[in-house]
């Protein structure tokens, strides 16, 4: 998973990528909090100073349902300001996008990517990054949930041809209206197929269902 994080970072043209499984920090005795491409110097500083308790990004993850940019965060204390200042001094990225990830049983994860430039997540790029990395985050989150013993073994479910098609198009970034046009069915029908696919795949989100469908080789 650590090697995969570096590969995703490089292919996604990001400065860094980090995932934390927030619901159960010590997944196993001696286990890792997650995966990151940050240098060891920042990891050590973050851990030794226990910055997680005053990190505004982590605070936002507990209250947000949608991806958010660091530039949109309202800093609430000197401690939070200090965390962001220390990060900036490490020159690890000009801005960040964080994506809260919630599993079927309520477990919380957080995927963060940092950009090399201030406008990396601006304008139309924001939606592309959010959609792409939400799916990546769902896959990583599911992996850690399994690793942490939060999942029972699951056999690949049977999906109909339409359910697979709707998931596949969603995975390509198409909106419901576009999928409806491609398949020549109503938007309500597309939403119904996605809902039944989520149910069969035991996923609360369509991004999570796409990740599971890819994992099982269904799409």
Q: Report how far residue 132's alpha carbon sits from residue 149's, in angstroms, rounded to the nearest whole number.
A: 26
Q: Helix or strand or coil: residue 168?
A: helix
Confidence of residue 74 (pLDDT cuts 50, 70, 90): very high
The pLDDT of residue 30: 42
Beta carbons within 10 angstroms of residue 105's beta carbon? 11
Q: Report how far residue 135's alpha carbon sits from residue 208's, in angstroms, rounded to the nearest whole number.
A: 6
The pLDDT of residue 28: 40
Q: Report how far residue 206's alpha carbon sits from residue 22's, in angstroms, rounded to the nearest whole number.
A: 21
User: pLDDT, tens digit, for every residue of 83-100?
Assistant: 999 999 998 988 899 999
Which residue shows structure tokens 């100073």? 49
Residues of the chain with CATH 1.10.10.10: 161-215
- DSSP symbols for 15-70: SEEEEEETT-S-SSTT--SEEE-S-HHHHHHHHHTTGGGG-HHHHHHHH-SS-EEG
Q: Report how far residue 197's alpha carbon sits from residue 192's, in angstroms, rounded to the nearest whole number.
A: 9
Q: Report how far residue 118's alpha carbon sits from residue 39's, in angstroms, rounded to the nearest whole number.
A: 21
Tell me what the pLDDT averaged over the chain comes to: 85
Residues 102-127, mean pLDDT to the nearest whole number? 82
| DSSP assigned state of 100 | E
CATH of 161-215 among 1.20.140.10, 1.10.340.30, 3.10.105.10, 1.10.10.10: 1.10.10.10
Structure tokens at 68: 């958010």
pTM of the model: 0.69
Residues 29-45, mean pLDDT to the nearest whole number? 79
Residues 102-128, mean pLDDT to the nearest whole number? 82
Residues of the chain with CATH 3.30.450.80: 2-147
Give yes or no for residue 154 having a pLDDT over 70. no
Cβ neighbours of residue 142 closer than 8 Å, sequence gap 6 or more: 103, 151, 208, 211, 212, 215
Cβ neighbours of residue 183 closer than 8 Å, sequence gap 6 or more: 162, 165, 166, 169, 190
Strand partners, 16: 114
Confidence of residue 32 (pLDDT cuts 50, 70, 90): low
CATH of 2-147 among 3.30.450.80, 3.40.50.720, 3.90.700.10, 3.20.20.140: 3.30.450.80
Residues 131-144, mean pLDDT to the nearest whole number? 85
Residues 108-117, mean pLDDT to the nearest whole number? 90
Cβ burial of 148 (10 Å; 0-12, 13-18, 19+) is middle
Q: Report how far residue 201's alpha carbon sits from residue 212's, in angstroms, rounded to the nearest whole number.
A: 7
């Amino acid at each position: 998973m650590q090697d995969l994080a570096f590969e995703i970072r490089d292919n996604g043209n990001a400065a860094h990528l980090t995932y934390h499984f927030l619901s159960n920090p010590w997944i196993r005795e001696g286990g890792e909090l997650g995966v990151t491409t940050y240098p060891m110097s920042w990891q050590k500083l973050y851990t030794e100073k226990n910055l997680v308790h005053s990190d505004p990004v982590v605070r936002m993850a507990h209250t947000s349902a949608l991806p958010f940019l660091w530039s949109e965060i309202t800093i609430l204390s000197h401690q939070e300001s200090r965390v962001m200042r220390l990060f900036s001094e490490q020159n690890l990225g000009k801005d960040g996008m964080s994506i809260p990830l919630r599993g079927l049983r309520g477990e919380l994860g957080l995927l963060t990517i940092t950009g090399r430039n201030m406008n990396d997540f601006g304008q139309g790029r924001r939606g592309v990054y959010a959609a792409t990395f939400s799916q990546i985050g769902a896959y990583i989150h599911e992996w850690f949930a399994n690793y942490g013993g939060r999942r029972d073994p699951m056999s690949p479910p049977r999906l109909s041809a339409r359910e697979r098609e709707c998931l596949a198009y969603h995975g390509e970034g198409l909106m419901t209206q576009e999928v409806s046009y491609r398949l020549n069915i109503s938007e309500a029908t597309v939403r119904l197929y996605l809902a039944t696919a989520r149910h069969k795949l035991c996923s609360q989100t369509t991004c999570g269902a796409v990740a599971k469908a890819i994992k099982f080789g269904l799409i």
